Amino acid sequence: MTPRLLGVLAPVVTPFHPDLSPDAGRLIEHCKWLLACDVGLAPFGTTSEANSLSVSEKRELLERLVAAGLPRSQMMPGTGCCSITDSIALTRHAVSHGVAGCLMLPPFYYKGVTEEGLYRNYASIIEAVGDQRLRIYLYHIPPVAQVGISLALIERLLRDFPGVIAGIKDSSGDWENTRSMIDRFSRGGFDVFVGSEALLLANMRAGGAGCISATANVNPEAIGKLYADWASPDADAAQARLNEVRTTFQKYPMIAALKQTIAQQRSDADWARLRPPLTEMAPASAERLQADLTSIGFSPEPTTAVAS
């Protein structure tokens, strides 16, 4: 039986070589560090620059992660694409490698699509993959996709595909929407993750499953500790501290800022590279980011050794 995936996951940033090809070696190293910090892996998410990667690149990178011995029980790769055939291919490939789940965007290119169209998209993928191990985590990110996943659509998918629709990542930033998902569906085993650690404590107190957060790439231990200790008397103070770090990163283009910070963590300038159309931070912006992080006492140095 596919294990239930709970806790904190990072939409793992994707490093690139100078020729802009994905750097599997650096990716594996980063994933090992995250796992050592008790953070799971959600490669090919928004923060991963997933929509700048081809189907073949994603397949090869997942194969490299599995071959490196990283636990598939801690993997939730993104497999949702605009093309339904690409979604099927990536999802089938991920399931064949035994991952715990697939994080699935709606087809986001066409705007104003009907709920029926979105239902048919997900239903067609599930039926084409046709594997009882499949666990789909819907990905609701209307600020970026501009195509949302309604409560009515979730209800219909849960009714028709029980056990397959396992949960959702709600990156709407709308806590009332998240709470409605928990209240309506969590008792049936539908796991609700928030898309930012800023809502982690509220999510846990309401019965949520954890968070899938971009800043888990650089602040994994602290976020993981709040997940583990959310019922402790110090939880509100810990949440406030996480919010301070998150707010600082949100002042800058998020992916560029995370990669710049990892480059400093690793003393490895190649980590700062992005694939066009995204661009690296200008030196002056990178200096301001570092000054802002220093001013709040956030050290970008890893505190846990990379797992062997």
Contact yes or no for 70/106 (Cβ under 8 A): no
Cβ-count burial of 287 within 10 angstroms (0-12 exposed, 13-18 middle, 19+ buried)?
Answer: exposed
Domain count, the chain: 1
In a domain, 299, yes or no: no
What is the C-alpha to C-alpha distance for residues 242 and 25, in angstroms, rounded to an integer? 29
In a domain, 30, yes or no: yes
In a domain, 226, yes or no: yes
In a domain, 255, yes or no: no
Residue range of the domain that includes 71: 7-232
What is the C-alpha to C-alpha distance for residues 68 and 37, in angstroms, rounded to an integer? 18
3-state secondary structure the chain: CCCCCCEEEECCCCCECCCCCECHHHHHHHHHHHHHCCCEECCCCCCCCHHHCCHHHHHHHHHHHHHCCCCHHHECCECCCCCHHHHHHHHHHHHHCCCCCEEECCCCCCCCCCHHHHHHHHHHHHHHHCCCCCCEEEEECHHHHCCCCCHHHHHHHHHHCCCCEEEEEECCCCHHHHHHHHHHHHHHCCEEEECCHHHHHHHHHHCCCEEECHHHHCCHHHHHHHHHCCCCCCHHHHHHHHHHHHHHHCCCCHHHHHHHHHHHHHCCHHHHCCCCCCCCCCHHHHHHHHHHHHHCCCCCCCCCCCCC
CATH number at residue 197: 3.20.20.70
In a domain, 209, yes or no: yes
Q: What is the pLDDT along the chain (308 residues), one digit of tens a residue?
A: 666 899 999 999 999 999 999 999 999 999 999 999 999 999 999 999 999 999 999 999 999 999 999 999 999 999 999 999 999 999 999 999 999 999 999 999 999 999 999 999 999 999 999 999 999 999 999 989 889 999 999 999 999 999 999 999 999 999 999 999 999 999 888 999 999 999 999 999 999 999 999 999 999 999 999 999 999 999 999 999 999 999 999 999 999 999 999 999 899 999 999 999 999 999 999 999 999 999 999 986 554 445 44
pLDDT score recorded for residue 303 = 47
Calculate the alpha carbon distances from 77 to 40, 101, 125, 180 in Å: 11, 7, 15, 25
In a domain, 250, yes or no: no
pLDDT score recorded for residue 1 = 60
In a domain, 282, yes or no: no
pLDDT score recorded for residue 84 = 97
In a domain, 266, yes or no: no
- ∠ at Cα 303 (301, 306), nearest 5°? 100
